[in-house]
Structure 1
Amino acid sequence: MQRPQQVITPVAPVQFKRIRDGATVFADFGADAYGNLQINIPPPVAATTLAIRLGEKLDATGAIDRRPYGSVNYRWLTLVTQPNRTVYQIDIPPKPRHSNPQAVHMPPQIGEVTVFRYAEIDNAPANLNAEALHQLWVHTAFDDNNSFFRSSNDTLNAVWDLCKHTIKATTAFGVYVDGERERIPYEADSYINQLSHMAVDANPEVARYTFEHMLKNPTWPTEWSLHMPMIAAFDYMFTGDIKLTSDNYEALKKKLLMDKARGDGLIRAPGIVDWPAGERDGFNDGDQQNQSGPEINTVVNAFYYHALLEMATVAKAAGRIGDALLFKSRAKAVYNAFNAAFFDRTRGIYIDGEGSTHASLHANMFPLAFDLVPRGYQSQVADFVQSRGMGCSVYAAQYLLEALYKAGRDEYALELMTSHSDRSWWHMIELGSTMTLEAWDVKYKPNLTWNHAWGAAPANIISRYILGVRPLKPGFEKILIAPQPGSLEELHGKVPTMKGPVLVKFQPGVLEIDIPEGTTARVLIPYKLAKSQQYPPQLSINGIKESAKAESGCIVVDEVGPGKSRFEF
């Protein structure tokens, strides 16, 4: 598979001024992006040397921070002008760390890039103006009109904008990378990137190319290997195309790590659990770096169970029926052994692993997210998960939020996504970043970057759970629309699918949807959203009163046809 084609979008400054008594030009391009700086110097051009600074962060004086903390990007460069030349791009030398064989490099026709929002030019000619400067933003093909979201909560709207821009901006290499510090594709990062990319633009090419790249260039954490079947299954459900799995089936099958299973089905392997290590909520031994024990542990086996089921789905679609039955059988054995080994019935929660008495957030949110918790205990486990707050990293927040929405804790999940604490997406915005951070704050990860898409979970959580749009059949042939607005009074969104966009609009007592041709929808409306708590619930569809079906606390309308539908309840 060829790397997806990259494009260059020139971006004009949103602010341009002269500082330091006019000796220096300052430009703000409005958002952080990978690219280069283009300078068009009006003639006459004198031969001189310009000192150029590019950066992501400002200091307390409002100038580019020349000593930013962590791995926040800053570059000092020079440009020699020539009398007969007016248009220039900066020669950006690669960083030493990017010579790592695992790092992704730009193709020659694009050239080296750096990530920046701000530019300063010393010794700038007096006739240099705002029209002379452009940020040459590199990204893959992206249709901004494929998605939108607005709600009655301004913080959530800002978080959506932050995450959507992050997803577009981090396609710069045509492959998902883990940020500017390393520029390496990692499996877990790429899965979250894929979920959020498909939530804002229906283009699976970057995810597919990244998947094949990672099959040949794997990374080290146990759970990262188990993310590979998850990536393949999401691609199949989103697109309806099984080719990615079929073309790579045997290599993908090995990612399940079934050779590590013991007699009862559980696998024996330490796990990364969360990253950095301090975000593990005391899992087993909070001082352990890299991968953490015990060898038979809850987090790894939760991923193993989920990966087996995902692999069963794609194996069946690829015609590997025997394997599909095997994976389902293994998953059933893991489910039983998992709950026998890790569930503390006295406390009603999961411990971190065999030989442990400690119960971390992670040991409970992953089973809840992956449907491992027996029905009678889901409320207790959800209570425990909720009691731990945002006790995990920006990476694991993906699964924390999924667990909460699956458990019907949409109001609390919304609280986390709209929090203004230092462990929130709003905090990233407050710091001045326009892309999601690698960690909640530099105090939690001293070498953090300001351009890491594994922190962009709200993009897919908003589309898949708040708007509630998910595929029930591969390729969105049948669509689930199950909004969970929590305390939001209004929401309006557009979710891309391979069949066309799905529009969802909600306000108290009214849900409006518009689904594309060639699809049907199953609509679930929680009772608590109805104006009246009368049972059975009253329902009107397109102005006609209907007998409402009820299921698991929801009004259910099945086989809704394409086009616009209005539900009043």
Structure 2
Amino acid sequence: MNNIIAQKWQNRWLCSPEFHDAPQLALLHRQLDPNFKMPPHREELKNYHALFRKKVVLANAPKRALLRISADDYYKLYVNGQFVTQGPANSYAFCYYYNVVDLTPWLRQGNNQLAIHVYYQGLVNRAYNSGDQRQGLIAELFADGVQLLDEDWLCARAEEYSYSRTIAYDTQFDEIIDERRKLHGWKLLDYDDSDWCKAPVKENDDHILIPQPTPNVVTELRFPVQTSRTENGWLLDFGEELTGTFSMKAVGKAGNVLTLHFGEELESSSAVRYEMRCNCNYEDRWILADGENELEPFEYKCFRYVQILFSTAPESPDAPRLSEFKVNFRHYPFAEVPCAFQTDDPLVRGIWSICKNAVRNCSQEAFLDCPSREKGQYLGDLTVTAHALYCLTGDTKLFKKALLDFSHSTVICPGMMAVAPGNFMQEIADFSLLYPYQLLLYYRFTGDKEFLRDMLPYAQGISEYFDRFRREDGLIENVKTKWNLVDWPQNLRDNYDFDLPQPVVGDGCHNVINALYIGMKQCIEEICKILDLPCTPQSAALRQAFIRGFYNEATGLFTDSLVSSHSSLHANAFAAFYGLAPEGNQIADFIMRKGLCCGVFVSYFVLYALIRLGRPQDAYALITNHSEHSWYEMLQEGATTAYEAWGKDQKWNTSLCHAWASAPIPVLCDLAKLKMPSLR
């Protein structure tokens, strides 16, 4: 692929001995490929925590020391006992990210200890490119320009981590952490590693390494805003949803067991709802050794509350003594810029706050749809979350990386995958068709013509992929190779009148997929114009075909399909978003009668449709409306981050932290530019 530049390395890939002869499994495939069979995976390699150590002797403290490092699936790096960073961002093996870490502040003259915790999960999901039996690390250290590391590393398995089940969509394992099996002090220079083995070189390793174009996630400590003793332990409230790992200290006796419950809400005044509505069962166990123990979970969760349950009576002399409750809150670097608007309306401030918090929680090494159930980067969600992150921080690096990630997925399908990276294969036609719009959005933020030129072939590949479904009049039908989403969940499609089973759509020609198809053509034509490249215009003729097929002159609205008389919010919002409606249409009034009877993701297109129809005040009115389909409803239900749906019970497995609901941030910023009196 033309945007992948492999880097030359002096050192080779190292792995744990158990993985040395494990074959690398091929997992990439089309979602609906009937010939694909999942290859067998060795069970004993799943949830594998490995520790690697390397001593570095320096004649002098370096003026500049840079570490190039990557690991599969993920690493946490310590130098001389201190945590430094973690990574890399998830990626496919054929374009695997590595990090460049400045170790100058961490290294000293004399002996130094590099200690790396590498985790291989072994499940096929959206969170990792795992389940492929690729494990291990590679590292090179350049101190004042001289590469100091060889391939002579020591390794051991971290035996304290076990599990009883997987969580959500095989996103992660629960963590049963047994301090009695922990290798205490392994990060320190003076630790005795004489019984560790040498890490073998993975001779047939197939990672192609490329630099990660974004900084690693950062962490900040958060402490509970309220702690209370319960009949059987402690209940902690951190005041808002946080993505990260919970830690504490405990002085106890060997075999003491603490059960940990995490949740987004309470079951009662003294119990956390750890079997969460988003389909995550957040129950872990911590087994103590004699004396002082420090909890070190590896995997992150998304939660507000923590409950600690004792196996003995809390007041018993044998009960452990607990202290130093905290969360290592992790997220993409988030330096806020001054808000693009000011308002005296407390509702708007509340809406801004929950949307901002959702964006921060969901911006990790990638734009995650949610940091709990899926932990995956969805192409459609990117439209909203990347736009919101730019408005909040001015950052475009994570946006650029996401666009690259999805371009890489065209190795699997030229029509692009809906989730990337990750070894979970999912395809959604609507999301693929939004990619050219996202490229234009990125260009408008940056003016980066070179990147636009590099990515144009992938946008054109999407166009060519969907051209195969064209009818004689240019409209597309029977797009059965990818799911036609329209909106999610199903109950928020405003009775869209077309058969949309997952993943194979029903027969016929329907509105939304065509509005997105024509919008995609418009965006590619605009990109070609920006780049002064030849392009045969198609969108104007397609717009006329769309109007002939779907527009009802009597109502001034678009219908859901060529054979339906029903006009849904969705059939009209996407058409208005891309300027497909003729003069004299009644779409704006229709939207205001309907309100936001759509999913929170589609609200982005509804609100911008109103702006493009010349009704910005109505867009503001919808943002601040008090119906059950509103951000007001989220706030009334106690939200600290925007939800996956308008209310907790409006979807069967609602996540209470979902950045695809953050449309008010970019819309309010654009309304402020129009100098609306509500915003100043």
What is the TM-score when the length of structure 2 is the normalising length? 0.61
Asked whether the equivalents of residues 277 and 290 of structure 1 are also in contact (C-alpha less than 8 Å), the reply is no
Counterpart CA distance in 2 for 1:116 and 1:154 is: 25
How far residue 162 of structure 1 moved from its aligned partner, in angstroms, is 0.3
Counterpart CA distance in 1 for 2:384 and 2:406 is: 15
**Equivalent in the alignment of 2:398:** 206
Counterpart CA distance in 2 for 1:433 and 1:18 is: 25
State yes or no: 1:168 paired with 2:378: no
Task: Map residues 144-163 of structure 1 onto 2, 5 A cutoff.
Answer: 144-147=336-339, 149-163=341-355
**Equivalent in the alignment of 1:93:** none
Match of 1:140 among 332, 337, 350: 332
Task: Map residues 199-278 of structure 1 onto 2, 5 A cutoff.
Answer: 199-217=391-409, 218-219=417-418, 220-256=427-463, 257-270=466-479, 271-278=484-491
In 2 relative to 1, CA 408–175 (structure 1 residues): closer, same or farther, beyond 3 Å?
closer
Counterpart CA distance in 1 for 2:499 and 2:270 is: 39
AA aligned opposite 1:231: Q
AA aligned opposite 1:439: A
Counterpart CA distance in 1 for 2:436 and 2:351 is: 29
Any idea what the Cα deviations from partners look like across 1:429-472, whole Å, max 9, x if unmatched?
332332222222344321221122111111111112x213xxxx
In 2 relative to 1, CA 86–243 (structure 1 residues): closer, same or farther, beyond 3 Å?
farther
Counterpart CA distance in 1 for 2:341 and 2:287 is: 45
AA aligned opposite 1:295: G
Counterpart CA distance in 2 for 1:229 and 1:195 is: 14
How far residue 265 of structure 1 moved from its aligned partner, in angstroms, is 2.6
Asked whether the equivalents of residues 478 and 505 of structure 2 are also in contact (C-alpha less than 8 Å), the reply is no
Match of 1:309 among 504, 517, 522: 522
Match of 2:600 among 379, 394, 411: 394
Counterpart CA distance in 2 for 1:177 and 1:443 is: 19
Counterpart CA distance in 1 for 2:330 and 2:567 is: 45
Greater mean deviation of Cα atoms: 44-53 or 344-353? 44-53
Structure having greater relative contact order (Cα 8 Å, sep ≥ 6): 1
Asked whether the equivalents of residues 368 and 403 of structure 1 are also in contact (C-alpha less than 8 Å), the reply is yes
Asked whether the equivalents of residues 223 and 238 of structure 2 are also in contact (C-alpha less than 8 Å), the reply is yes
State yes or no: 1:341 paired with 2:549: yes
How far residue 52 of structure 1 moved from its aligned partner, in angstroms, is 1.5
**Equivalent in the alignment of 2:183:** none
In 2 relative to 1, CA 286–433 (structure 1 residues): closer, same or farther, beyond 3 Å?
farther
**Equivalent in the alignment of 2:303:** 116
SS at match of 1:59: strand
How far residue 36 of structure 1 moved from its aligned partner, in angstroms, is 0.4
State yes or no: 1:359 paired with 2:567: yes
SS at match of 2:307: strand
**Equivalent in the alignment of 2:289:** 82
How far residue 401 of structure 1 moved from its aligned partner, in angstroms, is 1.0
Counterpart CA distance in 1 for 2:672 and 2:249 is: 45
Any idea what the Cα deviations from partners look like across 1:228-265, whole Å, max 9, x if unmatched?
11111111111111343333332221122233333333
How far residue 267 of structure 1 moved from its aligned partner, in angstroms, is 2.3
Asked whether the equivalents of residues 252 and 320 of structure 2 are also in contact (C-alpha less than 8 Å), the reply is no
AA aligned opposite 1:240: G
Asked whether the equivalents of residues 264 and 333 of structure 1 are also in contact (C-alpha less than 8 Å), the reply is no
How far residue 377 of structure 1 moved from its aligned partner, in angstroms, is 1.5
How far residue 410 of structure 1 moved from its aligned partner, in angstroms, is 3.3
Greater mean deviation of Cα atoms: 199-208 or 215-224? 215-224
Q: Percent of aligned pairs with the same residue?
A: 25
Task: Name the structure with the higher helix share.
Answer: 1
Counterpart CA distance in 2 for 1:346 and 1:336 is: 17
State yes or no: 1:413 paired with 2:619: yes
**Equivalent in the alignment of 2:127:** none
**Equivalent in the alignment of 1:14:** 225
In 2 relative to 1, CA 148–169 (structure 1 residues): closer, same or farther, beyond 3 Å?
farther
Asked whether the equivalents of residues 277 and 287 of structure 1 are also in contact (C-alpha less than 8 Å), the reply is no
How far residue 165 of structure 1 moved from its aligned partner, in angstroms, is 0.8
How far residue 166 of structure 1 moved from its aligned partner, in angstroms, is 0.6
State yes or no: 1:452 paired with 2:658: yes
Asked whether the equivalents of residues 348 and 377 of structure 1 are also in contact (C-alpha less than 8 Å), the reply is yes
How far residue 121 of structure 1 moved from its aligned partner, in angstroms, is 1.6
Counterpart CA distance in 2 for 1:431 and 1:181 is: 21
**Equivalent in the alignment of 2:242:** 33
Counterpart CA distance in 2 for 1:280 and 1:64 is: 33
Counterpart CA distance in 1 for 2:510 and 2:403 is: 27
Asked whether the equivalents of residues 258 and 309 of structure 2 are also in contact (C-alpha less than 8 Å), the reply is yes
AA aligned opposite 1:78: R
How far residue 355 of structure 1 moved from its aligned partner, in angstroms, is 1.9
Asked whether the equivalents of residues 175 and 209 of structure 1 are also in contact (C-alpha less than 8 Å), the reply is no
How far residue 350 of structure 1 moved from its aligned partner, in angstroms, is 1.1
Asked whether the equivalents of residues 259 and 309 of structure 2 are also in contact (C-alpha less than 8 Å), the reply is yes
Asked whether the equivalents of residues 3 and 174 of structure 1 are also in contact (C-alpha less than 8 Å), the reply is no
In 2 relative to 1, CA 291–157 (structure 1 residues): closer, same or farther, beyond 3 Å?
farther
Any idea what the Cα deviations from partners look like across 1:286-338, whole Å, max 9, x if unmatched?
7755565563222122112222222223233445x11xx32xx1111112211
Task: Map residues 418-567 of structure 1 onto 2, 5 A cutoff.
Answer: 418-464=624-670, 466-468=671-673, 482-485=674-677, 488=678, 491=679, 506=680
SS at match of 1:161: helix
Counterpart CA distance in 1 for 2:541 and 2:269 is: 61
What is the TM-score when the length of structure 1 is the normalising length? 0.72
Counterpart CA distance in 2 for 1:122 and 1:272 is: 42
AA aligned opposite 1:2: Q
State yes or no: 1:192 paired with 2:387: no
Match of 1:284 among 463, 477, 497: 497
Gaps of 5+ in 2: 1-210, 410-416, 419-426
Counterpart CA distance in 2 for 1:274 and 1:66 is: 28
AA aligned opposite 1:121: I
SS at match of 1:412: helix
Counterpart CA distance in 1 for 2:629 and 2:399 is: 28
Counterpart CA distance in 2 for 1:147 and 1:12 is: 27
How far residue 26 of structure 1 moved from its aligned partner, in angstroms, is 1.8
In 2 relative to 1, CA 158–283 (structure 1 residues): closer, same or farther, beyond 3 Å?
same
How far residue 170 of structure 1 moved from its aligned partner, in angstroms, is 0.5
Any idea what the Cα deviations from partners look like across 1:43-64, whole Å, max 9, x if unmatched?
x654432221111111232531
Asked whether the equivalents of residues 50 and 78 of structure 1 are also in contact (C-alpha less than 8 Å), the reply is yes
How far residue 420 of structure 1 moved from its aligned partner, in angstroms, is 3.0
Match of 2:508 among 292, 295, 304: 295
How far residue 422 of structure 1 moved from its aligned partner, in angstroms, is 2.3
Any idea what the Cα deviations from partners look like across 1:529-555, whole Å, max 9, x if unmatched?
xxxxxxxxxxxxxxxxxxxxxxxxxxx
How far residue 180 of structure 1 moved from its aligned partner, in angstroms, is 2.2
In 2 relative to 1, CA 292–397 (structure 1 residues): closer, same or farther, beyond 3 Å?
farther
